[in-house]
Every structure is written in C-alpha cells, then in structure tokens.
Amino acid sequence: MIRLEGITKSFAGKDGPVAALDGVDLSIAKGEIFGIIGSSGAGKSTLVRLINLLERPTGGNVFVAGHRVTDARGKSLRELRRSIGMVFQHFNLLSARTVAGNVAYPLELTGQYGKIEIAEQVAALLARVGLSEHAHKYPRQLSGGQKQRVGIARALACEPQVLLCDEATSALDPQTTGAVLDLLRQINRDLGVTIVLITHEMDVIRRTCDRVAVLDRGRVVEEGRVADVFLHPRHPATLRLVRETEPDGGALDAITASDLGGRTVRLTFTGPSAHKPILGRIARENIVDYSILAGRVGHIRETPYAQFIVSLSGRDVAGAIAGLRASGVHVELQGGALADDVPAAPPRLQERPRYVV
C-alpha cells in the first residue's frame, strides 16, 4: 500500500544541510495498522509528511497504492492527497465552524457534492465517531477526546485509503487515548483503511499496531511484528524506548544487558503458554531449580505475555532449556553463558534482518 525506497530528506541548517531522514526503506501493507516509533527529533513527522506529500524527499521514492507519488503534480496530486487522511496532535480544527462544519469542509473543497449529499455524509461520519449529538457545537465546547473524534471524522470524509496519525493521542489523557485508539481500530476493521500511527508512546503501539518500525536519527533501526520487537528489542534505541515505559523501569532489560554469568536465561511466554505452569513442570522433570530475577506480564493487543529472567541450576539445565523450547517458550541465553552445553535457538523466520545497523 505504501512503499518508501531509499528516502532521504535534508533541511537547510545553520551549518549546512541537516539530514532528517537518511535512507529509509519501508513497506506498509494494505489494511494494516503500522506504528512508527522514535524519540523526539527522530524524523517521524518528516516521514509522514512525505507520505502525503506535504514535503518532497531529497532523494528516493514514495509509492502509494502503486503510484509513484513523488512524481505527482496538479490534478493527480490533489487526488492522491484526498486518498490520504491526516489526524494531528493538536486537532487543527476551524474554531469558527461547528463540528458538522469542520467535517463538511474537505467535502466542500472538492466541489463535487451538493448540500444535501454533504449533510448526509457528515451525519454518517459523526455517527461513526460517536458525535451525532454534538454536531452543532463549536470546537471550544468539546473535550480533547471529542475534538480528536472530529479530526478523525474529517480525515475520513473523502473516503481515504490511508489514515496518517501524527501523535494523534499525545495531547490526551490515558483513558481518552484508549478510547480514541479503540475507535481507530474499529475504523480499520470496518473500512479496511490502512493506518500509519506515529508516536513516541510505546503503549499506543502495544495496544493498537500490527507491525512497528523504530526510527532513530532518521534511520529505521528495527522493524517487525509488535510482539517480536517489544519482547525482544535488539537495537539500543528500541531498548531505550522499551525501558522508559516498563513499570519495572527496565530492570529486566538491565539484567539482560549485564553478564551475570551462570545459567541465566530470558524466558518469554506468549499466547496461551503465558498462563500455563510450564516452568515448574520442566524444572521438576529435569531436576533443576530456578530463581526468578526479574519479570513482567502484560498484553500486546489481545495477546497475553509473560517474560522472566531466570537463573537455572541443578542436574540437567540443557534438558530443561530444550524442554522449554519444545513447549513453545522463547528462550534466550544471557551473557553468553551455557554456550557449550545448550543447543542454539532455532533461527526465527524473518523476511529480513530486523536489526539494521
């Protein structure tokens, strides 16, 4: 649906050009919710602005629905822009227009619809975002969450194939954030709209996205399914982001990073295995003791997970690790310990290396 090839973008700075994006390749499939995460200044906003052609790349190509948008001019440019809706952090509503007037605005701009047609479409859009009762209010009379629902309805007005959301929930409290993310997921399900979510908030990605790319200083440094990237972060930039938002302050990742020696493993249980007493059974079968050094449990979208750093000792540690793997537990050896007596983990299936240096 969206393909970026070798995208570079530089801006004129005081001391010559500043590279905001530096060789970005990215493919986003039709109908998926794709997250782009990175710290402030990483280049996220520049990246979305290239997709809807608010900016043009310095080098490389952008394709949307098979069209090379970097070549688009005039009428085809207007049509492409219309096929891409955008939702902003600060809503960008017209304060002198009512809720209905804001949603009608992009339809009026097309010059293609009569008054009655527009009124009908606006009513349907407001019903979709749950604002039918507020049609005649002005933006200043709405809460932040309601304003963002107006922003979403407006972005959907021209029936776009793609919805770009740049920090769409960053100005909202956590509860409102949850409700807006639920709405976006529902829109994705009902309309099949491809959604690109740009955020610096890990939780937004965790509960909403199918896949995620991590942007760091203008480069995609890691990319994959959300569960893979968040439960097994590899690049230092991803680790930093994951740590910031974990309730344990990243203690688990800190242990992972340090070489404790001994037989220390990081175990990840996902899906149904997160709730099964696998560890105890396998420890008994192999006459192994375990102590849990750190752990966390949670959900990525609807999938539960549990992750523990465990130190193993006893008779058959290698057998226990093999048994865990056979039960579907993801086992990573910490600090290079055990290299001699434990078989290597089977390679994970991947389209391409996830950790790009």
Ligand X SMILES: Nc1ncnc2c1ncn2[C@@H]1O[C@H](COP(=O)(O)OP(=O)(O)O)[C@@H](O)[C@H]1O
Return residues touching Mg ion (CB under 5 A).
44-45
User: Rounded to the nearest whole angstrom, what is the least distance from the CB of residue 43 to Mg ion in the complex?
Assistant: 8
Examine residue 199 and tell whether it contacts ligand X (CB under 6 A): no
Give the whole-angstrom CA distance, residue 112 versus residue 252: 57
Give the whole-angstrom CA distance, residue 268 versus residue 217: 30
Question: Rounded to the nearest 5°, which phi and psi values hold at 250?
Answer: 85, 15
Tell which one of 24, 34, 46, 93 touches ligand X (CB under 6 A): 46
CB 162 within 8 A of CB 198: no
Which lies closer to ligand X via its Cβ, residue 23 or residue 298?
A: 23
Which lies closer to ligand X via its Cβ, residue 85 or residue 218?
A: 218
Which lies closer to Mg ion via its Cβ, residue 10 or residue 327?
A: 10
Which lies closer to ligand X via its Cβ, residue 122 or residue 164?
A: 164
Examine residue 44 and tell whether it contacts ligand X (CB under 6 A): yes
59 CB-near residues (< 8 Å, 6+ apart):
6, 7, 8
Examine residue 45 and tell whether it contacts ligand X (CB under 6 A): yes
Examine residue 232 and tell whether it contacts ligand X (CB under 6 A): no
Give the whole-angstrom CA distance, residue 121 versus residue 159: 10
Planar angle of CA 299, 303, 306, nearest 5 degrees = 55
User: Rounded to the nearest whole angstrom, what is the least distance from the CB of residue 199 to ligand X in the complex?
Assistant: 10
Binding flags for ligand X, 137-176, as an x/- string (CB under 6 A): ----------------------------------------
User: Rounded to the nearest whole angstrom, what is the least distance from the CB of residue 17 to ligand X in the complex?
Assistant: 10
CB 197 within 8 A of CB 205: yes
Residue with tokens 């800190």: 254
User: Rounded to the nearest whole angstrom, what is the least distance from the CB of residue 41 to Mg ion in the complex?
Assistant: 8
**How many residues are listed for the chain in this entry?**
357
* Distances from the Cα of 66 to the Cα of 29, 78, 163, 296, 315, angstroms: 12, 16, 17, 42, 58
Examine residue 41 and tell whether it contacts ligand X (CB under 6 A): yes
Which lies closer to ligand X via its Cβ, residue 45 or residue 307?
A: 45
Examine residue 43 and tell whether it contacts ligand X (CB under 6 A): yes
From the list ligand X, Mg ion, none, which binds 93 (C-beta under 5 to 8 Å, kind-based)? none
Planar angle of CA 351, 354, 357, nearest 5 degrees = 130
Q: What is the DSSP letter of 200?
A: S
Give the whole-angstrom CA distance, residue 61 versus residue 268: 38
Closest alpha carbon to 267 in 237, 239, 229, 305: 305
Within residues 289-348, the interface with ligand X by CB under 6 A covers none
Examine residue 52 and tell whether it contacts ligand X (CB under 6 A): no
Count of alpha carbons within 13 angstroms of residue 169, beta-carbon side: 23
Q: Pairing between strand 67-68 and 59-64?
A: antiparallel
Binding flags for ligand X, 1-20, as an x/- string (CB under 6 A): ----------x------x-x
User: Rounded to the nearest whole angstrom, what is the least distance from the CB of residue 258 to ligand X in the complex?
Assistant: 30
Which lies closer to ligand X via its Cβ, residue 217 or residue 234?
A: 217
Tell which one of 2, 4, 33, 42 touches ligand X (CB under 6 A): 42
Total chain residues near ligand X (CB under 6 A): 11
Examine residue 104 and tell whether it contacts ligand X (CB under 6 A): no
Give the whole-angstrom CA distance, residue 129 versus residue 147: 11
- Beta partners for residue 91, in sequence order: none
Return the range that interacts with ligand X (CB under 6 A); candidates 22-30, 35-43, 149-157, 282-290.
35-43
- The residues of the shown chain that bind ligand X, judged by CB under 6 A, are 11, 18, 20, 38, 40-46
